[in-house]
Chain A
């Protein structure tokens, strides 16, 4: 004989539950916690508001105006944006920016990861090597670009001098479009690989050595260990770097401005140097603001796409 101990059937509707009484002290504590949180956020929110969102609103407003340097502009609706469509230099700058991004983002990440793997291994004097690799990142972009000018100067640069010494002809770094873009890409890789290496190194140091040990026991060689353990395990770092590098590449300015000034011709003109040229040299701020807003929209679109892709990646991990 069994004794039925259940007081209700499974199909019966659940008995209405009484909300536990909220004590005034708990609510006050929650409010106090929220207030503390916002207080900590406040300095950042103020900085973001004053230096990011407010100028952004002004830039949008300015992009609908025709400006002549000083004083208020004249509202012209979408005229600056329609002008962009017929502006061949704008399209070339957009194409150059896209090309620069497509080349620099994967290359700098591959080099960064390769260096990180190397620096994560048993390497003599790796602290020294890490410092040397990260050095271009910690000095000003303009200073690094000036070093780039010294290296790639067509007449007296180090690279062309070396080429001449070994009997080769000098490369036209400053007078040929393709060579000029290559020089900018090389300096960018030099600057950015250090940062990518740092982030990947932090990611690698969180990977458990047991994973590699068990893979080795299962007979996995170095390439398979890298392909099936290292690469997936640094996925979050890759996602972060992808966003950062794409944004950086789309907003590139200092290196191009110092090394080539957008030339020869418009070969290395990118969106930000073109916006700068219009805003500060020609003093056509309305048109420059329109270019800036287009750049913002492109960057936002890329970030949104990457964000969606990242959710799948998180599930895998």
Chain B
């Protein structure tokens, strides 16, 4: 058979067009699953979390013959850009994982499935009230609190010994006061060489809300009870900002560890650049494998009160899911006592069920330090949660990040910083 050049080009063109169209079909393929008993579930996660989710899904599929859940694991950095685009284009998954701060953004804009008909008063009572509060908007639940985490202080034992620090607080009540913490930091500063630092704080990038722990410890708040009026421009706000600005002024933290830094605090700890690390318990598997030195843990410092950050995530179903009943069933299954215990044990994360508080969960990594985090989590108050779960948190985070960066690295005064944050919060909640 004779093949002319034209025939060849035509065939090549047809082949390319087929590929192109197939590619386009790929772009438009909805993340939402097609089958009646199929659910799609999008999340990010560490290796331990991925294994935990896969085990939970396998157990759900075994308990519900015929049902399948497709896990779509994405990098954290892309998670919410993807979800936003998928929600906008009607191709969102049936279920996704979301932190308590972002949840309000979605629930307040009718993007999530109303779960009030699936979870009655008794099932809601099963959760620690602060976390059940965190998944609600205007009194309606839009998700289930799957786990929580909070920060405590990890320290390099050798660095402490070299600085003559022989003991650390071993109860929540005896946690360092701000003044005691500052003395410890100064003691380390005096002993360490200039390119090593007393500590690194985990407020970089999306962790900027962790600065609020200092505000809460000072007895302050950033939103009034109406969750609209800014309350940060206060004596407590000034105390928290002055104290944290001092970290940079006194060389307590690396100069490149401000809120917009691309270097995470944990990296400074692993490289022994920082002797202490404020870290979430979810980080313990990484610390265990990457820190090549002996380390211990103690509680967050306290001022007027103890406080730490509200970490952790909820699981939610999208309002557009066509399998609402199955999705709600999956959510309920994932927060059942057995599943939550297994997940928390494997990932060193904390439970949100009342029934698991005080029980012995067999944490896979450093079970000796986990009780510190469990106890630290009790310092999170409901009023903190109400503010942190505000639907305006995305915009408030941006204001906090911009203004704290200017205060920490550009010498912006405390007064101007607080006034700007107040103005930004007012604009965000208007």
Contacts and interface: CB of A to CB of B under 8 A. Distances in A.
The answer to whether A and B assemble together is yes
Given A280-B84, A281-B398, A263 B254 contact: no
B109 A155 contact: no
Contact of B84 (A69, A259, A260, A263): A69
Contacts of B205: 261
Contacts of A236: none
A262 B268 CA distance: 21
From A47, A70, A258, A266, name the one whose CB has the most chain B CB atoms within 10 angstroms.
A70
A261 B394 contact: no
Nearest to A278: B398
Given A149-B263, A265-B405, A280-B84, A155 B258 contact: no
Interface in B225-276: 254-256, 258, 260-263, 267-268, 271, 273
B406 interface: yes
Interface string A151-177: 001111000000010000010111100
A282 interface: yes
Q: Say which size band chain B's interface belongs to.
A: 35 or more
A77 to B, nearest CB: 20
Contacts of A156: 267, 271, 273
Interface in B11-45: 13, 16-17, 20
Given A155-B273, A156-B271, A264 B405 contact: yes
A283 B256 contact: no
A55 interface: no
A263 B409 contact: yes
Contact of A260 (B13, B20, B255, B262): B262
B167 interface: no
Interface in A278-317: 280-284
Judged by DSSP, the binding face of B is helix
User: Which of A39, A47, A258, A280 has most B Cβ within 10 Å?
Assistant: A280
Contact of B271 (A71, A155, A258, A282): A155
Nearest to A155: B273
Contact of B258 (A149, A153, A264): A264
Given A69-B105, A164-B195, A283-B105, A263 B255 contact: no
Contacts of A280: 81, 84
Nearest to A164: B195
Contacts of A71: 109-110
B191 to A, nearest CB: 18
Contacts of A284: 395
B410 interface: yes
Contacts of A265: 405-406, 409-410
A69 B192 CA distance: 47
B369 interface: no
Contacts of A259: 262
Interface in A130-154: 149, 153-154
Contacts of A68: 109
Contacts of B409: 175, 263-265
Contacts of A281: 394, 397-398
Nearest to A68: B109
Nearest to B411: A265
Nearest to A70: B109
B273 A263 contact: no
B87 interface: yes
A4 B262 CA distance: 92
A89 B111 CA distance: 31
Interface in A221-267: 258-266
A36 B261 CA distance: 54
A164 B410 CA distance: 25
A149 B264 CA distance: 12
Contacts of A258: 262
A43 B409 CA distance: 50
Interface in B37-82: 81
A277 interface: yes
A281 B205 CA distance: 11
A277 B263 CA distance: 19
Contacts of B405: 263-265
Given A170-B195, A280-B81, A281-B394, A175 B256 contact: yes
B109 A282 contact: no
Nearest to B261: A174
Given A70-B88, A70-B111, A265-B405, 20 more contacts: A43-B20, A47-B20, A70-B87, A153-B263, A154-B255, A155-B195, A155-B268, A155-B271, A155-B273, A174-B262, A175-B409, A258-B262, A260-B260, A263-B260, A264-B405, A266-B402, A280-B81, A280-B84, A281-B398, A282-B398
Interface of A: 39, 43, 47, 68-71, 89, 149, 153-156, 164, 170, 172-175, 258-266, 277, 280-284
Q: Which 10 residue pairs of A and B lie closest in terms of their CB atoms, listed nearest first? A: A263-B260, A174-B256, A175-B255, A264-B409, A154-B256, A265-B410, A155-B273, A70-B109, A261-B260, A282-B398
9 contacts: A89-B402, A154-B255, A155-B254, A258-B262, A261-B262, A264-B260, A265-B410, A283-B394, A284-B395
